[in-house]
């Protein structure tokens, strides 16, 4: 078999900076991927803190956004996954936020054709904006995403609320933006928690067809497990079943 006909290496990418999420988030994410992804893969964490992360995870530095001094990076840091050369990594990358919970086989995320796939945002589905908790791309294939941001960051930060809005708009204009099957990535807040008033009576549950649960806003897996609203407007009973998935 020639080298060109060999399947591309599959990478799982995540990113951890600062102290908001501890190493257990990386370790549990790796364990969930290992249980739910068939075949070989490499798991890479772009991070500024490697302490406590399990040895199966390759820890690499987060590339600098290279903005002028004094400009806050905030969530825009995720755009560095689109470096022309991301530490020499080659192949297909599936980016996962640290606080997702994988509940079913994610192999199909590598099988759907397309140059760039992302979640279609649930709150305003009439917009093109994707939710970047889960996206897939070929490493090094979209360097213009980051190069354009570095060049025009002042205007981009005025025009777009966050990195996922900019990213979706940029790739949509190139005709490369595609969305996952709407059943695969479910919002814990919108799809798992029962509607009012039954949310006070029934516990959250995994919706049919879901493969990855997304925790956006103020709740994360430990909150959902314990039934803490954490200031969220939607009350939820404890979801004990999360412990079956969110574990090492």
pLDDT at 150: 92
pLDDT at 224: 93
Rounded to whole angstroms, what are the CA distances from 210 to 68, 164, 191, 207? Answer: 41, 22, 10, 6
Backbone φ and ψ for 59, nearest 5 degrees, come out as -95, 125
The domain containing residue 147 runs over which residues? 3-179
What is the domain count for the chain?
Answer: 2
| 192 and 175 fall within a common domain | no
State which of 138, 160, 179 marks the end of a domain.
179
pLDDT at 95: 98
Taking the chain (248 residues) in runs of 10, the rounded mean pLDDT of each run is: 62 94 97 98 97 98 82 79 98 98 98 98 89 98 96 92 95 98 96 92 96 91 89 85 96
| 156 and 115 fall within a common domain | yes
| CA–CA distance, 108 with 89 (Å, rounded to integer) | 22
Q: What is the mean pLDDT of the chain?
A: 92
State which of 140, 164, 179 marks the end of a domain.
179
Cis peptide bond N-terminal to 230, omega within 30: no
Backbone φ and ψ for 29, nearest 5 degrees, come out as -65, -45
pLDDT at 43: 98
| 61 and 83 fall within a common domain | yes
Percentage of the chain lying above the pLDDT 70 cut = 94
| 109 and 217 fall within a common domain | no
pLDDT at 74: 63
| CA–CA distance, 192 with 196 (Å, rounded to integer) | 12
Q: Which of 28, 63, 26, 64 is nearest to 45 (CA)?
A: 26
| 29 and 139 fall within a common domain | yes
* Per-residue pLDDT tens over the stretch 36-95: 999 999 999 999 999 999 999 999 999 998 777 666 556 799 999 999 999 999 999 999
| 36 and 118 fall within a common domain | yes
| 19 and 138 fall within a common domain | yes
Q: Which of 38, 32, 30, 36 is nearest to 7 (CA)?
A: 38
| CA–CA distance, 176 with 160 (Å, rounded to integer) | 19
| 20 and 107 fall within a common domain | yes
State which of 179, 205, 224 marks the end of a domain.
179
| Beta bridge partner(s), residue 13 | 44, 95
| 37 and 96 fall within a common domain | yes
| 85 and 131 fall within a common domain | yes
| 123 and 206 fall within a common domain | no
| 205 and 95 fall within a common domain | no
């Amino acid at each position: 078999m020639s080298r060109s006909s060999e399947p591309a290496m599959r990478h799982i990418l995540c990113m951890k900076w600062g102290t908001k999420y501890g190493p257990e988030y990386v370790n549990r994410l790796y364990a969930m991927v290992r249980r739910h992804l068939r075949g070989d893969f490499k798991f890479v964490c772009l991070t500024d803190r490697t302490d406590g992360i399990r040895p199966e995870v390759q820890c690499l530095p987060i590339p600098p956004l290279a903005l002028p001094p004094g400009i806050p990076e905030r969530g825009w840091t995720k755009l560095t996954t689109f470096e022309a050369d991301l530490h020499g990594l080659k192949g297909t990358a599936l980016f996962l936020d640290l606080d997702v919970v994988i509940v079913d086989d994610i192999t199909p995320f590598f099988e759907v054709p397309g140059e760039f796939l992302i979640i279609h945002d649930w709150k305003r589905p009439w917009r093109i904006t994707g939710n970047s908790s889960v996206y897939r791309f070929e490493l090094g294939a979209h360097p213009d995403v980051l190069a354009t941001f570095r060049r025009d960051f002042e205007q981009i930060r005025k025009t777009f609320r966050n990195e996922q809005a900019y990213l979706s708009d940029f790739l949509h204009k190139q005709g490369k933006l595609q969305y996952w099957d709407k059943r695969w990535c479910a919002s814990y807040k919108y799809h798992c928690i029962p509607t009012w008033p039954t949310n006070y009576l029934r516990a959250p549950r995994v919706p049919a067809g879901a493969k990855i649960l997304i925790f956006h806003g103020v709740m994360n897996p430990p909150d959902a497990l314990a039934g803490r609203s954490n200031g969220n407007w939607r009350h939820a009973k404890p979801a004990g079943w999360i412990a079956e998935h969110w574990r090492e």
